[in-house]
């Protein structure tokens, strides 16, 4: 069955096509087609990829009047040159959507109905950038693939097992009663990473304590005990936790009070500062991309070096916190853009994790091509590098959910 996945972000709209058996295996299947729209201010870029991995930059194709029309045009490229992969939209069996925030009630993958759409819209107040983009994707898919089942998979869902002491903020109890609690994100990636790590180690996941480190544009850690999330670094929104590309992660909330009182900073300005002007970009002043930061640090840029050092420090303390929540750790898995590709980040991070029993092989780390183990044979904690497979995981959930329909 051909399953189309829409992965809507605040500044990207990715889409991927898979062909899966109704009872899919645990191993990812290759992409048949991929489309990626990126927005940087007024600039819009479309990249298309076919099953052979050939890339096409199709900037001139879009430049439509708004993001909605651009997404529609991108999806039509499924049956148009130069990346025609299907005859027409009717070949799509199911459309799966990554929905970032499921709020208190939406946890399990679910068939999208008008009630589900309303529930996603209700949560938009908490995650406005992401959930609105998700809803837009759903509406366009309804138009292009009428009558086909659509499935929502929630990034918060995997963390539904957080115990109350990890989920409830130590503010007034009424916060919790009003849905202000720690939800956690990147759940689709963390869940896949945990299961993949168990398969790589040849162990049952029920016997393992795993720390999954999702380090991409957004970064978060998950403590996975016997396959269940028991702690994570992101919270009510994807702003909490470790340092990221343009988000700083946790900062003293007193800073925000100070900025509002002394500088009369508005809510929108704070939002912009916390979401777009902090993290690697905010400290280095160079870029939110770890590659640029490492390069600038290597060229002697002091602020870029500081940004790298803070990133690693926060990552180390985050990993230690997750290990404490688990009461020990069998494996640490690095995934997503930085986790998969930055040998520098992995080396610097693991340099201080000897107290947990983690020791990496410098040579294996430097040459790591996921999925691969980079720990030494003596290391008490196995250290793994795993390719993120969010889109395939969503496609798999779609196959599972619609098999019996």
Q: How far is the CB of 203 from ligand AMP (least distance, A)?
A: 26
> Residue 11 or 161: which CB sits closer to ligand AMP?
11
Q: How far is the CB of 110 from ligand AMP (least distance, A)?
A: 25
Q: Which helix (H) or strand (E) is 190 found in, with range?
A: helix 187-201
> Residue 158 or 311: which CB sits closer to ligand AMP?
311
Q: How far is the CB of 38 from ligand AMP (least distance, A)?
A: 11
Please name which of 295, 293, 296, 291 lies closest in space to residue 280, comparing C-alpha atoms.
293
Q: How far is the CB of 390 from ligand AMP (least distance, A)?
A: 9
The residues near 32 (Cβ < 8 Å, ≥ 6 apart) are 2, 17, 18, 19, 50, 51, 85
Q: What is the pairing mode between strands 382-386 and 331-335? A: parallel
> Residue 178 or 291: which CB sits closer to ligand AMP?
291
Quote the tokens at residue 41: 């201010």
Strands (E), 296-335: 331-335
Q: How far is the CB of 281 from ligand AMP (least distance, A)?
A: 10
> Residue 341 or 375: which CB sits closer to ligand AMP?
341
Q: CA 132, CA 120: separation in Å to the nearest integer? A: 9
> Residue 274 or 336: which CB sits closer to ligand AMP?
336
Please name which of 42, 39, 45 lies closest in space to residue 11, comparing C-alpha atoms.
39
| Cβ atoms of 405 and 149 closer than 8 Å | yes
Which is catalytic among the residues 155, 225, 231, 371?
155
CA dihedral 221, 223, 224, 228 (to 10 degrees): -100
**280 CB-side CA count, 13 A:** 25
Q: CA 21, CA 2: separation in Å to the nearest integer? A: 9
Q: CA 241, CA 393: separation in Å to the nearest integer? A: 24
Tell me which residues touch ligand AMP (CB under 6 A): 216-217, 245, 289-291, 336-338, 341-342, 388
Q: How far is the CB of 207 from ligand AMP (least distance, A)?
A: 29
The residue sitting closest to ligand AMP, measured at its beta carbon, is 337
Q: CA 193, CA 109: separation in Å to the nearest integer? A: 18
155 is annotated as an active-site residue: yes
> Residue 199 or 291: which CB sits closer to ligand AMP?
291
| Cβ atoms of 358 and 381 closer than 8 Å | yes
Catalytic annotation, residues: 155
């Amino acid at each position: 069955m051909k399953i189309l996945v829409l992965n809507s972000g605040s500044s990207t709209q990715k889409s991927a096509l898979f062909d899966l058996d109704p009872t899919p295996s645990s191993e990812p299947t290759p992409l048949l087609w991929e489309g990626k729209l990126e927005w940087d201010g007024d600039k819009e870029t479309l990249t298309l990829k076919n099953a052979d991995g050939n890339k096409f930059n199709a900037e001139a194709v879009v430049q439509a009047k708004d993001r909605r029309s651009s997404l529609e045009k991108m999806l039509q490229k499924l049956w148009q040159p130069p990346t025609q992969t299907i005859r027409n939209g009717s070949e799509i069996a199911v459309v799966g959507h990554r929905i970032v925030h499921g709020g208190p009630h939406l946890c399990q993958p679910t068939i999208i109905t008008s009630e589900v759409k309303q529930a996603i819209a209700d949560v938009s107040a908490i995650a406005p950038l992401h959930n609105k983009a998700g809803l837009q994707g759903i509406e366009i898919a309804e138009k292009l693939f009428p009558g086909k089942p659509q499935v929502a998979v929630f990034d918060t869902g995997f963390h539904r097992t957080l115990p109350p002491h990890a989920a409830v903020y130590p503010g007034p109890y009424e916060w919790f009663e009003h849905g202000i609690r720690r939800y956690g994100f990147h759940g689709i990636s963390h869940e896949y990473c945990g299961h993949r790590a168990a398969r790589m180690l040849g162990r049952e996941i029920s016997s393992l304590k795993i720390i999954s480190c999702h380090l991409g544009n957004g970064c978060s850690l998950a403590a996975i005990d016997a396959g269940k999330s028991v702690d994570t670094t992101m919270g009510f929104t994807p702003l909490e936790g470790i340092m990221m590309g343009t988000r700083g992660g946790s900062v003293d909330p007193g800073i925000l009070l100070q900025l509002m009182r002394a500088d009369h900073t508005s809510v929108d300005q704070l939002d912009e500062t916390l979401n777009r002007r902090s993290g690697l970009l905010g400290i280095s002043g160079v870029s939110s991309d770890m590659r640029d930061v490492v390069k600038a640090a290597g060229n002697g840029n002091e602020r870029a070096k500081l940004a790298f050092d803070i990133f690693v420090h926060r990552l180390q303390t985050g990993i230690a916190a997750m290990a404490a929540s688990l009461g020990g750790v069998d494996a640490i898995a690095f995934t997503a853009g930085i986790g998969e590709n930055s040998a520098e980040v992995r080396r610097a991070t693991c340099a201080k994790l000897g107290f947990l029993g983690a020791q990496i092989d410098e040579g294996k780390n430097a040459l790591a091509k996921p999925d691969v183990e980079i720990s030494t044979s003596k290391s008490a904690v196995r250290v793994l590098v795993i390719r993120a497979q969010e889109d395939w995981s969503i496609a798999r959930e779609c196959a599972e959910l619609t098999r019996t329909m």
